[in-house]
Amino acid sequence: MEKTLVLIKPDAMKAHHIGDIFKIYEEKGLEVLAVKMLQMDEKLASQHYVEHIGRPYYDDLVGFMTSGPIIAMVLAGEDAIANVRKINGKTNPADADEGTIRKLYASSGSRNAVHASDSPESAAREISLYFSATEIFD
């Protein structure tokens, strides 16, 4: 069973879509192994988005991600990384397929409701930023 990290971002939190988003993942057969609500600070944002430091959109990204609470969760399932990214839809909701989380709940490419790991390496690194081994129930 593959694991991936998902973040429900501040825009989706503020719009009260937590339950809707959880339901979609569970209905698609993914298992929730860990979950927590937290406030991302600049240090955590810089660790999570290390590959984006120095890019023109970095400051806006950090400002957005630290603007309110988020939910971090570890999901598991067959091909979880690819499946979650398909369920989430393309980054820009205008380009996302009907029924995807971003088509349903995102307002723009930069305010796009959810984050998901893009590779097994990213998943392992990102999961370790948010959860200790004892917080993951697999």
pLDDT digits over 13-38, tens only? 999 999 999 999 999 999 999 999 99
Inside any domain, residue 138: no
- Residue positions forming the annotated binding site for ATP: 9, 57, 85, 91, 102, 112
CATH classification of the domain holding 44: 3.30.70.141
Inside any domain, residue 7: yes
Burial of 138 (0-12, 13-18, 19+ CB in 10 A): exposed
pLDDT digits over 81-110, tens only? 999 999 999 999 999 999 999 999 999 999
Determine which one of 16, 48, 52, 115 is catalytic: 115
The number of distinct structural domains making up the chain is 1
- Enclosing domain of residue 103: 2-133
pTM assigned to the model: 0.96
- Residue positions forming the annotated binding site: 9, 57, 85, 91, 102, 112
Active site residue 115: yes
What is the maximal distance between C-alpha atoms in the chain?
Answer: 39
